[in-house]
Structures are given as C-alpha cells and as structure tokens.
Amino acid sequence: MSRNFFLFAAMAGLYALTGFLLSWNVSLSILNTALLATIMALGVNMQWGYAGLFNTGVMGFVALGGLAVVLTSAEPTPDAWAAGGPGIVFGLLLGAATIAAAIFAWKRMAAGRLRTLVLLAILIGGFFLFRAVFDPAVTAVEANNPATYGNLGGLGLPSLLAWPVGGLFAALAAWAIGKTALGLRSDYLAIATLGIAEIITSVLRNEDWLDRGVKNVLKLPRPWPVPYEVNLQQNPAFLDFTTRWELDPVATSTIFVKLCYTSLFAAVLLIAIWLTERALKSPWGRMMRAIRDNEVAAEAMGKDVTRRHLQVFILGSALIGIAGAMMTSMDGQLTPGTYNPLRYTFLIWVMVIVGGSGNNWGTVLGGLLIGWLWLIVESIGPAIMGGVTAAMADGPLKQHLVDSAPHMRLLSMGVILLLVLRFSPRGLIPEK
C-alpha cells in the first residue's frame, strides 16, 4: 500500500515540478491529455487485463468518438440537409438493408449453389443501388458552400451529450468486429482491429460530407460548464478575483479553463474507475479472469466464453469511444489527419503494460506517467537535443539530430515497453 502511495505521490510530484519549472499551463494541458489517455487505457485494461483480448484498434474507437462530437454538437447546416440529407440517409439505409438481406439469405437458405448465387445477386445489386442513391446526394451536399461547410453538419446538441454517443458508436463498431473475429485465434482479433482502425480513420479523412475530411471541422462547442477565455476576461466576478489576488487575468483565464476540463475529466475517470473496480470485484469480474486464465476450464463450467469476450470487448471499446469524444470536445475541432496509430493505439498499450495489466489503479498510474513522459518530451525534447549537440559544429549532422528529436520518443517508448515486459511483466502495480 505504502509503495503504491509513494508511486502516486511521485507522479503528482512530476506534474507539480512541471508546473513550477515550466508553467502551470503546460502542466495542466499535459494532465488533461494524460487523463484522457488514462480513460482509454482503462478501456484497454478491461479488454486485455480482465479478459486477455488483444485490441490494436484503439485509434479507430477514439476516432469514432470524435465523429460523434461532430454529428451531435456541430451547428446544423439546413442547406446541406435540404440538398442531399435524405438521399444520404436513404442510401445508408439501403446499404444496411443489403447487408441484412444477405445475412438473412445466408441463414435461411439451404447451403448450395443457389444460395451462393442469391447472395451474390443481393450484394452486387444492393451495392449498385446504394451507389446510385448515395453518390448524387453526396455530390449535392459537398457542393454546398465547400469553403465553410460541405458537410451535413451536426444536430447542435450540447457537447456533453456527444460523449455517451461516442461510446455508443464505438460499441457498435466493436460489436461488428467482435462478432467476426472473437472465438478465433487471439492474433486474429489483433489484425482485424488493426484493420478497422485504419479504415475508420480513412473514412474520416475522405468522406467530406460526413466531417469535411482533412479540411477539419472547427469551432465545435465546449462541454457545458467550461467557459470561453474571452467571456471570462470580461466577467466582473472573475476580474474582481484576479485583482484581489494580483493575478494576470489573461493567463489566469486559460488556467481556469484548463482546470474546468481537468475536473470534468477527473470526474469521468473516477466514475470509470469506480465502475470497473466494482465490475472486477463482482462475480462477473472473477468469471472474466477465470476465463482469461483457463478458457477450457471455464467452458467446461458452462460459461459461454465467446459471448463474455464479446461483452467485455464492447464495454472496453465504449469507454475508449467516450474518451475519444471527450478529447475532440476539448480540442474544439476534429482533425482526421492527426489520428496516428502509434500515438492513439500503441502508446495506450504501453500505458497499460507499464502500469500493470489487470489492475485499474496500475493503469491509471501508467497512463498519467507515460502520458507525462510522452508530452513533456514534446515540450522539452528539442531543447535536450540542442543541449546534447551544442558542442558539435553546425552542419547537416547536427541539424539531422535536432530534427530527429520527435522520433526518439518512439524509440524510447519501445525500449520502455520491452524493458517492462522483460523485467517487470506484471507492471508497476501488479494485479492482486
């Protein structure tokens, strides 16, 4: 216990040190990002730590959460809806109906050549029907004022509401993936999730009607209690507060906004920990771990292993989706070009492994620690590299080394992961 307390205190010390030495602004923004990554890591920990499921598609679920923010809380664009909204919705419904019809035919018809032919006819016919309805509608929507819109827009609902929607999107995607890949070899889930993550992000990058693609959706509203700095700087109560404590109103307003986010995220994190801890300590959690440790024995005891796996896979992915939505609503914009598997999938994995897979508190520690390390190197990495190379003569080699500072992060993360796996495979705070 005292060891864990020391570890958390040391971690808090790192953030405090960053605040004193660099600035509280940097420290808080690192903390916010790390909190989000920690929630994602909790989702991965449910999948890997509880059940031994290997999900390499974290990035995809994060991106789906981001999409949920755009679709729920971006301002509505009635012109785009009038131009092609119904056509797009009808087209998507046709596509879904085609797949449903294909599954129905597969399930209901007797195996044989006839079934194959009917299936092919449904799929090919459905595809062309879908394109015939969908394509003109997309062209119409994208032609609507492409410089500012060109997309369908959202529903204009509060940003907080987008968070559960993000979880829902991620859960639906997880259901579809889990249905196909679970119950097979463990590696297949890893490869299937790796693929779906790449496909989700390429959809976000290329479907302008949905989220403006690489043109990014900007000016997403902030979640409910978080104020805008500009409004804060004109708020008499706030100005009163800053003059009494002799603070700079501009700097204080940015810190205040960040603190609002910190408390929101910390609240979500605490709820998530409470729920996951409760789940882990319930009969359900013991069953999950029993399945993880010996699938054959669990199956012999009458547990439906594939179904339980599907359940925990969906729950974990939903948590990741919620965190993804929170991230996009904090950024205030969706930038599909920035979703990078190393940052959003594998870094989260490093957090879980370093912290201690199977232990939620370990995951939280790992998340905050690795998150701090990853982001602090972004702030001070070039300075360190500059210091290291200061003695060298100016030239292409020095320039190359200074430019390569960001890649050192990948290298160091890999080395940390390998070292922890080798020498402390149960992580900083091992599972009980």
* Interaction site with another protein (CB under 8 A): 52, 54, 56, 127, 180-181, 184-188, 190-192, 194-196, 198-199, 202-203, 205-206, 341-342, 346, 349, 353, 400, 403-404, 407-415, 417-418, 421-422, 425
Amino acid code (one letter) for 71: L
Residue 259 Cβ, how far from another protein at the closest point, in Å? 33
Asked whether 34 and 377 are in contact (CB, 8 A), the reply is: no
How deeply is 287 buried, as exposed, middle or buried, from its count of CB atoms within 10 A (0-12, 13-18, 19+)? middle
Nearer Cβ to another protein, position 264 or 291?
Answer: 291
Place of tokens 């965190």: 323
Place of tokens 């100005």: 239
Nearer Cβ to another protein, position 264 or 428?
Answer: 428
Nearer Cβ to another protein, position 37 or 162?
Answer: 37
Residue 206 Cβ, how far from another protein at the closest point, in Å? 4
Torsion of CA 12, 18, 20, 21, to 10 degrees: 150
Nearer Cβ to another protein, position 25 or 186?
Answer: 186
Output the furthest CA–CA distance in the chain (Å, rounded): 83
Asked whether 132 and 163 are in contact (CB, 8 A), the reply is: no
Nearer Cβ to another protein, position 191 or 247?
Answer: 191
Residue 116 Cβ, how far from another protein at the closest point, in Å? 11
Number of Cα atoms under 13 Å in the Cβ half of residue 67? 30
Nearer Cβ to another protein, position 48 or 149?
Answer: 48
Q: Which of 35, 36, 14, 27 is nearest to 379 (CA)?
A: 27
Residue 14 Cβ, how far from another protein at the closest point, in Å? 22
Asked whether 72 and 165 are in contact (CB, 8 A), the reply is: yes
Place of tokens 């010996």: 294
Nearer Cβ to another protein, position 39 or 353?
Answer: 353
Residue 54 Cβ, how far from another protein at the closest point, in Å? 5
Other CB atoms within 10 A of residue 325 CB: 34
Nearer Cβ to another protein, position 69 or 192?
Answer: 192
Using CA atoms, how far residue 199 sits from 64, 126, 196, 204, 272, in Å, is 11, 21, 5, 9, 28
Residue 240 Cβ, how far from another protein at the closest point, in Å? 50
Residues listed for the chain: 432
Residue 364 Cβ, how far from another protein at the closest point, in Å? 20
Asked whether 324 and 86 are in contact (CB, 8 A), the reply is: no
Residue 296 Cβ, how far from another protein at the closest point, in Å? 14
